[in-house]
C-alpha cells in the first residue's frame, strides 16, 4: 500500500523525543500519535494484532485527552507488556475518547525494544482541531 | 530551533543573570551557572526560556536557578532548581519530573584494578544476570498487594529488613532512604500495578551499573573519610529511579494540578509547569505521593545494591567483609523537599524543587550523616558511559546561593535522534571496548542514544560547579565496566 500522507513526524528535542501526528480527522491524528509513540518503543512491522483492548477516556479538554490517551497506553505497555499498532477510534467527541487498540504482547524472540517511553508530557503539547494535527513530547 | 536572543547579564566568569524584566510575569531573576563556551550551547536550545518560565511560579524566592549541566527539558529545564515559600508558594510535579527520585549511589571496595581487571568480562556478565534490567524487565521480588504500602513508607529500610543490604547503608543514604510525610493512599491503583512487579529493576534509558576505578583524588583528607583511599581503587555505581510507579504518580498529579490551577487562579506559561499551593489539599496530596515514589526508588536501589554485592563477591571469590563494598553515599537528583534556608537574612521554610540537580549541603549541616559532619555531604556526579564520574562535597556557598544544590551529571547536548545519526550502537560498543570498558547492554539502539558524543563533557560541568564554589571536587573515577538496560 502506498501511503500518500505521512502519519507522523518526529521533532527534535535535546533530552527527549517529540512528534507531530496528522490525520484526515482529529480521531485519525490521535490514532497516529499513538502509532508514533509505539514506533519509538519498537519496530511495529514485526508486531501482530492478536490481542485487543478497549480504552475509554474522558477529560476536560482536547489537550488533557491527548495526554491521558497516550499515557494510558504507556500504562498498558508497562503493566501488560502490550505493544499496540492499530487504533480504531470508535468515538471522539466532547473530550471523550473510546477506542479499540490492537497489537500483541512483547515477545523478546521477535521484538526488539528500542527505547522506553516514561510518559507523554504537557510541554509544547498542541491539538489543532481544524488542521487535525497534534504535537507531543515524550519523556524517554 | 530558535536561539536565545533575550538579555543575559554577566555577573562573573561562571554566573549569568536573566533579568526579571526579560518577561513580564517573572517574579525573580534567572541565575545560570556556566562558562562562556557552555553558554553558547545552552543558548541554542530552549533551556533559558524555561528558566525564565519557572520564575513565573507563585512564591518563588531568590532566583530561578540553572546548574551547569542545564539542558532543555519539558516544563522545567533539566538542571533546574527552584525554591518556593511553603506559606505562599506552589509545588509543581513538573519541577520534579517523571522519574521521581532518580538518583545514584556509589560503593567503595578494598580491591584494586589489577585484581578486578582480569575478571572484568565475567563480572559484567554476572552483574547483568543478577540485576534485572531493560525495558519490560520484571523483578525477582514478588510483592503482595499490602506489601507495596510498606515499601512506599519505609523505603530502604523495607529492603534491609527483607535481607537486601546492610543496616549501615541507611546511614549513608540521603533521608536514610526513608523520607517522612508519606501517605500510600495518595498513590493510585495504576501506579501500584506498575510498581509491584518492577521493584528491584534497573530499567532502561540512561540508567546503569558501573564498575569504576579511582583515577584522581583532589582532596585526600575528605576522600579518606569517604573511604576513597588511592588511585586504582575499585568503586561500584548504581543509577536508577522509581520506574513505572514514579512515572504514574507524576502523570496522575500533573493532571490533578492542571485542574487545580483553575481553582486557585494560577496561570503558567507552559502547562507542564502545572502547580498548586504547597498548603492546598492538591499540593499536600502530591507531596505525600511523591515521597512514596521516592521511597520506592530508594528501596529499588537498595535491592539492586544487594545483588551487585552478591555478584561482585561471587566473581571475585571474596567475602563481603573482605571486599569492603560499603555504601559511600546515595543521592537523589529529582525531588521536591521541604527545607529551611536563609532568604534575605530570614530563616524560611521552602519547598525546594531539584530537577536534575543534587543536594549539596556543607560540613556541619544537621541533615548529613554524622561520619561526614566535618567534610560535607558527598555528591555523586555520574558522567556519560564512556567518560568519568565525580565525587564532590557540599559547600557553604551552595547554601547561600543555590539552596544547597549543585549539578547532577553531564547534561545532554545532542538529541537522541541526532546522537544516533552520528554513531550506531555497535560503534559505541566498539569504542568503549577499545577504551578498555566492558559493556553489557539490553539494547544496542539504546546504547547509541547514550553515546558520549551526545553529552557535554562532565569535566567541564564539574569544573564550573567547583570554580563557582557550589561544590568541591573530591575524587574522579573512570569506568572499566558498564551494564545498561
- Summarised one tens digit per residue, pLDDT across range B16-68 is 999 999 999 999 999 999 999 999 989 988 899 999 999 999 999 999 999 99
Size of interface A-B (CB pairs under 8 A): 119
Look at residue A35 and tell me whether its pLDDT is greater than 70.
yes
Domain locations in chain B as residue ranges: 9-413+455-484
Nearest to A106 among B94, B136, B251 (CB): B136
Give yes or no: B247 in active site. no
Chain A hits for B254, CB-CB cut-off 8 Å, are 67, 122
- Looking at this predicted complex, what is its ipTM? 0.91
pLDDT tens for A68-106 read 999 999 999 999 999 999 999 999 998 999 999 999 999
Residue B470 pLDDT > 90: yes
Q: Mind listing the pLDDT tens digit for each residue in B94-152?
A: 999 999 999 999 999 999 999 999 999 999 999 999 999 877 677 889 888 789 999 99
Q: What does pLDDT average to over chain B?
A: 94
User: What are the extents of the domains in chain A?
Assistant: 19-139
Rg from Cα positions in chain B:
21
Return the residue in A8, A9, A15 with the most chain B beta carbons within 10 A, the one to mutate for interface testing: A15
Interchain pair B74, A67: CB under 8 A: no
Spatial neighbors of B91 by CB under 8 A, at least 6 apart, are B84, B275, B276, B277, B278, B283, B286, B287, B336, B351, B353
Query: What is the CATH T-level fold of the domain B9-413+455-484, as seen in this structure?
Result: tRNA-splicing ligase RtcB (3.90.1860)
Gap from B98 CA to chain A (nearest CA, Å): 7
> Could you confirm whether domain A19-139 is CATH 3.40.50.300?
no
- pTM over cut 0.90: yes
Answer yes or no: do B135 and A116 touch at CB < 8 A: yes
Residue B297 predicted with pLDDT over 70: yes
Q: Kindly give the interhelix angle for B243-264 and A62-80, rounded to the nearest 10 degrees.
A: 160
Q: Say what the pLDDT of residue B422 is.
A: 61
| Grid cell locating A109 | 524472540
User: Which residues are CB-neighbours of B445 under 8 A, at least 6 positions away?
Assistant: A112, A114, A115, B420, B425
Sequence-distant (≥ 6) Cβ neighbours of residue A113 within 8 angstroms: A41, A42, A106, B134, B135, B136, B204, B442, B443
Interface of A to B at Cβ within 8 Å reads 10, 12-17, 41, 59-60, 63-64, 67-68, 71, 74-75, 78-79, 81, 106, 112-116, 118-119, 121-125, 137, 139-140
Which tens digit of pLDDT belongs to each residue from B399-451? 999 999 999 988 777 676 666 666 677 888 888 888 889 999 887 777 777 77
Q: Catalytic: which of B71, B341, B408, B466? A: B408
Q: Are B334 and B96 in contact (CB under 8 A)?
A: yes
Q: Is B45 on the interface with A (CB under 8 A)?
A: yes
Amino acid at each position: 500500500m502506498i501511503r500518500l500522507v505521512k502519519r507522523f513526524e518526529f521533532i527534535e528535542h535535546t533530552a527527549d523525543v517529540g512528534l507531530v501526528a496528522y490525520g484526515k480527522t482529529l480521531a485519525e491524528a490521535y490514532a497516529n500519535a499513538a502509532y508514533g509513540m509505539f514506533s519509538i518503543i519498537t519496530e511495529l512491522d514485526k508486531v501482530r494484532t492478536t490481542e485487543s483492548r478497549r480504552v475509554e477516556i474522558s477529560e476536560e479538554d482536547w489537550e488533557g485527552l491527548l495526554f491521558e490517551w497516550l499515557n494510558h497506553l504507556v500504562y498498558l505497555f508497562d503493566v501488560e507488556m502490550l505493544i499496540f499498532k492499530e487504533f480504531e477510534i470508535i468515538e471522539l467527541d466532547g473530550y471523550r475518547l473510546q477506542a479499540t487498540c490492537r497489537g500483541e504482547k512483547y515477545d523478546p524472540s521477535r521484538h526488539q525494544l528500542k527505547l522506553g517511553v516514561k510518559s507523554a508530557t504537557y510541554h509544547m503539547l498542541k491539538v489543532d482541531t481544524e488542521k487535525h494535527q497534534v504535537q507531543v513530547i515524550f519523556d524517554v | 530551533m530558535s536561539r536565545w536572543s533575550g538579555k543575559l547579564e554577566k555577573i562573573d566568569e561562571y554566573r549569568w543573570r536573566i533579568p526579571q524584566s526579560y518577561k513580564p510575569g517573572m517574579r525573580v531573576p534567572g541565575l545560570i551557572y556556566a562558562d562562556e563556551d557552555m553558554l553558547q550551547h545552552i543558548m541554542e536550545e530552549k533551556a533559558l526560556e524555561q528558566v525564565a518560565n519557572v520564575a513565573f511560579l507563585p512564591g518563588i524566592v531568590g532566583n530561578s536557578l540553572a546548574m551547569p549541566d542545564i539542558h532543555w527539558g519539558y516544563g522545567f529545564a533539566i538542571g533546574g532548581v527552584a525554591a518556593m515559600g511553603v506559606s505562599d508558594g506552589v509545588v509543581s510535579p513538573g519541577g520534579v519530573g517523571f522519574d521521581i527520585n532518580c538518583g545514584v549511589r556509589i560503593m567503595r571496595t578494598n580491591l584494586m584494578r589489577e585484581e578486578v581487571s582480569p575478571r572484568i568480562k565475567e563480572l559484567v556478565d554476572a552483574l547483568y544476570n543478577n540485576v534485572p534490567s531493560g525495558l519490560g524487565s520484571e523483578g525477582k521480588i514478588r510483592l503482595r498487594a499490602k506489601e507495596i504500602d510498606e515499601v512506599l513508607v519505609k523505603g530502604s529500610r523495607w529492603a534491609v529488613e527483607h535481607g537486601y543490604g546492610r543496616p549501615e547503608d541507611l546511614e549513608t543514604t540521603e533521608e536514610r532512604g526513608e523520607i517522612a510525610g508519606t501517605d500510600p493512599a495518595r498513590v493510585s491503583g495504576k501506579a501500584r500495578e506498575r510498581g509491584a512487579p518492577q521493584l528491584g529493576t534497573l530499567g532502561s534509558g540512561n540508567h546503569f551499573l558501573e564498575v569504576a576505578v579511582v583515577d584522581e583524588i583532589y582532596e585526600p583528607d575528605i576522600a579518606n573519610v569517604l573511604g576513597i583511599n588511592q588511585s586504582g581503587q575499585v568503586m561500584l555505581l548504581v543509577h536508577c529511579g522509581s520506574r513505572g510507579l514514579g512515572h504514574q504518580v507524576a502523570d496522575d498529579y500533573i493532571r490533578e494540578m492542571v485542574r487545580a490551577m483553575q481553582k486557585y487562579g494560577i496561570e503558567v506559561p507552559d502547562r507542564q509547569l502545572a502547580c498548586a499551593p504547597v498548603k492546598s489539599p492538591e499540593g499536600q496530596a502530591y507531596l505525600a505521593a511523591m515521597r512514596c515514589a521516592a521511597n520506592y526508588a530508594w528501596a529499588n536501589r537498595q535491592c539492586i545494591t544487594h545483588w551487585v554485592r552478591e555478584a561482585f563477591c561471587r566473581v571475585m571469590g571474596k567475602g563481603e567483609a573482605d571486599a569492603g563494598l560499603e555504601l559511600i553515599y546515595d543521592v537523589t537528583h529529582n525531588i521536591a523537599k521541604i527545607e529551611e534556608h536563609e532568604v534575605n537574612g530570614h530563616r524560611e521554610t521552602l519547598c525546594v524543587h531539584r530537577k536534575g540537580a543534587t543536594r549539596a549541603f556543607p560540613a556541619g549541616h544537621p541533615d548529613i550523616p554524622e561520619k561526614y559532619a566535618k567534610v560535607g555531604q558527598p555528591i555523586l556526579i555520574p558522567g556519560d558511559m564512556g567518560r568519568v564520574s565525580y565525587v564532590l562535597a557540599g559547600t557553604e556557598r551552595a547554601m547561600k546561593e543555590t539552596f544547597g544544590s549543585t549539578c547532577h551529571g553531564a547534561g545532554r547536548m545532542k538529541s537522541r535522534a541526532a546522537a544516533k545519526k552520528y554513531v550506531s550502537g555497535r560503534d559505541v560498543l566498539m569504542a568503549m571496548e577499545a577504551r578498555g570498558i566492558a559493556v553489557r547492554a539490553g539494547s544496542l539502539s539504546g546504547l547509541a542514544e547514550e553515546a558520549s558524543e551526545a553529552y557535554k563533557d562532565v569535566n567541564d560541568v564539574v569544573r564550573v560547579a567547583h570554580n563557582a564554589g557550589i561544590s568541591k571536587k573530591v575524587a574522579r573515577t573512570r569506568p572499566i565496566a558498564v551494564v545498561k538496560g
